[in-house]
Amino acid sequence: MFTAPAIADEILDLKKERNAILLAHHYQAPEIQELADVIGDSLELARAARKFSGDVIAFCGVWFMAETAKVLNPDRIVVVPDREAGCSLVDSCPAAPIREFRRAHPDYTIVSYINTSIEVKAESDILCTSRNAVRIVNSLPPEQPILFLPDRNLGGYVRRQTGRENMKIWQGACVVHDTFPARRLVEARLDHPDALVVAHPECPESVLALADFVGSTSAIIEYCAASGAHEFIVMTESGVHHSLHRAAPGKRFHFVANEHCNCSECPYMKLNTLEKLRDALDTLAPRVELSGEIMARALAPLERMLAVK
């Protein structure tokens, strides 16, 4: 067990008192995942938030994910353990230039990755996640010009998978995935010649070209659990190791250091702690507060995404 017992008990008591649900991304620390009601990637957590019927959502992830939960639950309280749990992709894509692009190119459909601010979502036509991005783009007419934002690597992967040459791609990137160097993956394959390579599509094309499987975080977990292989090199945030070991006990997983921090951790995801989660449930802060107008505008592209099967 990873959980500090005293704090865990406080959290569970507060959860019951607040009629709360705990949602945790796969990149959260193991002790947080152990207390969560739902563990998932962005799409799974968005759907879990939509189905929730209690009073408080404690979202253990990053701020844009909690904003999405609030849009789907406007009458519920949504808290995040640490307000500074942001995202480099969100930071790379401010809303003002997206508004300008829409004015200048009204014929374009704006497809926004869920890793965007609520303001950018409100300017978008439809959202996507790494799990459904190819399916979302394929749901649009082939002749439709598209602006895909903000992740250049995911956008490039989607364009290669769909053949959409009429797709402009915003040049944002994930501070973790974008800095995985292909040379370190090559070294890891030499060290572990029997391992399969699984990679998140936010990785550079040079890394994806070496992968045996490309998919979202949850898709990677499902692939590793179902595969007959017993060893994997995992090209995504290393917090996923807890979910991997739970889904595929007895298998071996190797992580490659990126050039951002010589590790494979998201600095934003790791800001959340048990102590901060306890305090968030106790004080109901930091709380996601959004205007009704922007929630209504962001809900439309979110609902369009959730409607695509």
Question: Is the confidence at residue 1, as pLDDT, over 60?
Answer: no
| Residues 102-121, mean pLDDT to the nearest whole number | 97
> 51 falls in which pLDDT band (50, 70, 90)?
confident
For 199-216, write each residue's pLDDT tens digit.
999 999 999 999 999 999
**Residue ending a domain, choose from 153, 173, 193:** 173
Q: Is residue 72 located within the same domain as residue 135?
A: no
C-alpha span between 305 and 126 (Å, rounded): 6
> 4 falls in which pLDDT band (50, 70, 90)?
low
67 in Cβ contact with 290 (< 8 Å) = yes
Q: Average pLDDT over the chain, rounded to whole?
A: 95
Q: Is residue 60 located within the same domain as residue 117?
A: no
Q: Is 262 inside a domain boundary? A: no
H or E stretch at 266: none
Q: Is residue 104 located within the same domain as residue 169?
A: yes
Q: Is 73 inside a domain boundary? A: yes
**Residue ending a domain, choose from 207, 233, 255:** 255
Q: Is residue 77 located within the same domain as residue 18?
A: yes
For 24-42, write each residue's pLDDT tens digit.
999 999 999 999 999 998 7
| Residues 255-274, mean pLDDT to the nearest whole number | 90
Q: Is residue 225 located within the same domain as residue 201?
A: yes
Question: Is the confidence at residue 112, as pLDDT, over 80?
Answer: yes
For 274-290, write each residue's pLDDT tens digit.
999 999 999 999 999 99
Range of the domain at 62: 5-86+269-290
Q: Give the amino acid at 88.
A: S
Q: Is residue 65 located within the same domain as residue 114?
A: no
C-alpha span between 185 and 36 (Å, rounded): 32
Q: In this predicted structure, what is the pLDDT of residue 262?
A: 76
Q: Is 49 inside a domain boundary? A: yes
Q: Is 297 inside a domain boundary? A: no
Q: With the C-alpha atoms ordered 86, 27, 89, 218, is the resulting torsion angle positive or negative?
A: negative
For 129-163, write each residue's pLDDT tens digit.
999 999 999 999 999 999 999 999 999 999 999 99
C-alpha span between 170 and 58 (Å, rounded): 31
C-alpha span between 238 and 263 (Å, rounded): 8
Q: Is 303 inside a domain boundary? A: no
Q: Is 260 inside a domain boundary? A: no
Q: Is residue 47 located within the same domain as residue 110?
A: no
Structural domain count of the chain: 3
C-alpha span between 231 and 43 (Å, rounded): 27
Q: In this predicted structure, what is the pLDDT of residue 22?
A: 96
Q: Is residue 34 located within the same domain as residue 47?
A: yes
Q: Is 295 inside a domain boundary? A: no
CATH number at residue 137: 3.40.50.10800
**Residue ending a domain, choose from 229, 255, 281:** 255
